[in-house]
């Protein structure tokens, strides 16, 4: 058995964490021989609830779980971290302007970025889930100058999984038969689910997605809208936001960072845009197609981008620039 790794989950008393913690603690993410110390951070009023979560984790009697540290203190939660999964954020409340939401979250992620900078290992892998995830991730990265920008990513794997699943359902194949969908841009309703490079394995032969689906109007219309609006549709139906599917996507994202992506396949994650070859503006956290090896991502290069894709990629970039500029203005406050 190797040394335990220290894994932080913030918002640890919330519903996404409740769906996530068991998978991490039983080895689904970092491997079946990797012991774990779980650090669970939440705000002070949630500590009694968090204590209940700790009891349940103890009652699971898990061989890999070496310790559980529930806390409301950043200096405890961020100490010597190997992995930080930042789920907790200020949710949008009724009547709240987007700029108010950004301002509240700038304060949270500025503080957590500074705590990462001060207490965590410089090799820490940071995944931001709390919305607006891309901009929250950018603020955290800017607030942790001693940690490499490439160690920060935000979750667009849920959107990636949603896109993959919609194509699979349409083609009546398992989702594993659908590869190389791409989510470009923001984890918001401007994101662009792109299937121009997607492959579908049907009856043993690999087809381009447009040839497999045979419905270009759907792929360029309802498919995109369904993926963009899926979170809202879940809330409308369930009266709660996506938790089970978000937790699964977090596990997929972190496992790919830890063990790498399968040969020839790529995934989607929000990463630092500086130096990309797709004419996406610099200094954003923007979702790209990536391949991962040795815990290091590389953007998939050389994909042809048609005019349809370009306009959608530019629209989501424009939203991210506006978010970034609003948030960075608050950083100086």
6 is known to lie in a ligand binding site: no
End residue of a domain, out of 121, 139, 154: 154
Instruction: State whether 39 and 174 are in the same domain.
Output: no
* Each residue's pLDDT tens digit, 196-251: 999 999 999 999 999 999 999 999 999 999 999 999 999 999 998 899 999 999 99
* Domain co-membership, 88 together with 198: no
Q: What is the pLDDT of residue 332?
A: 75
Instruction: Examine the domain organization and report whether 17 and 114 are in the same domain.
Output: yes
Residue 125 shares a structural domain with residue 226: no
262 and 222 in one domain? yes
Query: What are the helix and strand counts (H, E) for the chain?
Result: 11, 14
At 140, which CATH number? 3.40.50.720
* Residue 42 among known ligand-binding residues: yes
324 is in an annotated binding site: no
238 among annotated binding-site residues: no
Same domain for 293 and 311?
yes
pLDDT score, position 95: 76
295 in the same domain as 285: yes
Q: Are residues 168 and 306 in the same domain?
A: yes
Count of the separate structural domains present in the chain: 2
* 134 & 208 share domain: no
Residue 272 in any domain: the answer is yes
Model confidence over 273-305: pLDDT tens digits?
A: 999 999 999 999 999 999 999 999 999 999 999
Q: Which of 154, 170, 201 is the last residue of a domain?
A: 154
* End residue of a domain, out of 133, 154, 175: 154
Domain membership flag for residue 180: yes
* Integer Cα distance of 240 and 301 in angstroms: 38
Residues 105 and 232 in one domain: no
Q: Is residue 41 domain-resident?
A: yes
Question: Do residues 162 and 149 share a domain?
Answer: no
**What Rg, from alpha-carbon coordinates, does the chain have?**
19
Q: What is the CATH number for 286?
A: 3.90.110.10
Determine, yes or no, domain membership for 206: yes
Query: According to the model, what pLDDT value does residue 293 have?
Result: 97
Residue-range definition of the domain harbouring residue 46:
5-154
Catalytic residues: 187
Q: Give one DSSP letter per residue of 224-262, joined into a string.
A: HHHHHHHHHHHHHHHSS---HHHHHHHHHHHHHHHH-PP
Q: How confident is the model at residue 333, as a pLDDT?
A: 55
**pLDDT reported for residue 96:** 73
Express each pLDDT in 61-106 by its tens digit.
999 999 999 999 999 999 999 999 999 998 877 777 778 888 999 9
Q: Are 72 and 44 in contact (CB under 8 A)?
A: yes
pLDDT value for 125: 98
Is 329 inside a domain boundary?
Answer: no
């Amino acid at each position: 058995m190797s040394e335990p790794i220290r894994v932080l989950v913030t918002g640890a008393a919330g519903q996404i964490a409740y769906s996530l913690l068991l998978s991490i603690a039983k080895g689904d993410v970092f491997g079946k021989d990797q012991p774990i110390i779980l650090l669970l951070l939440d705000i002070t009023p949630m500590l009694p609830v968090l204590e209940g979560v700790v009891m349940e984790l103890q009652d699971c009697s898990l061989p890999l779980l070496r310790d559980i540290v529930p806390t409301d203190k950043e200096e405890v939660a961020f100490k010597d971290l190997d992995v930080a999964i930042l789920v907790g954020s200020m949710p949008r409340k009724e009547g709240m302007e987007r700029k108010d939401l950004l301002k509240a979250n700038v304060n949270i992620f500025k503080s957590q970025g500074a705590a990462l900078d001060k207490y965590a290992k410089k090799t820490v892998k940071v995944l931001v889930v709390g919305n607006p995830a891309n901009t929250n991730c950018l603020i955290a990265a800017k607030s942790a100058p001693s940690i490499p920008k490439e160690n920060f990513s935000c979750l667009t794997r849920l959107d990636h999984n949603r896109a993959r699943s919609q194509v699979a359902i349409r083609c009546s194949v398992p989702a594993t038969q659908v590869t190389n969908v791409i989510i470009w841009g923001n984890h918001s309703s401007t994101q662009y689910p792109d299937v121009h490079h997607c492959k579908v394995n049907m009856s043993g032969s690999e087809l381009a997605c447009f040839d497999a689906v045979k419905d270009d109007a759907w792929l360029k219309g309802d498919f995109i809208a369904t993926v963009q609006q899926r979170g809202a549709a879940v809330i409308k139906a369930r009266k709660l936001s996506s938790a089970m599917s978000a937790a699964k996507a977090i596990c997929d994202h972190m496992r790919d960072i830890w063990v790498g992506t399968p040969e020839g396949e790529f995934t989607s994650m929000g990463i630092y845009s500086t130096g990309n070859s797709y004419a996406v503006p610099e200094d954003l956290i923007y979702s790209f197609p990536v391949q991962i090896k040795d815990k290091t991502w590389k953007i998939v290069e050389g994909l042809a981008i048609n005019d349809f894709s370009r306009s959608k990629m530019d629209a989501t970039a424009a939203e991210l620039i506006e978010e970034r500029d609003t948030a960075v203005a608050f950083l100086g406050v």
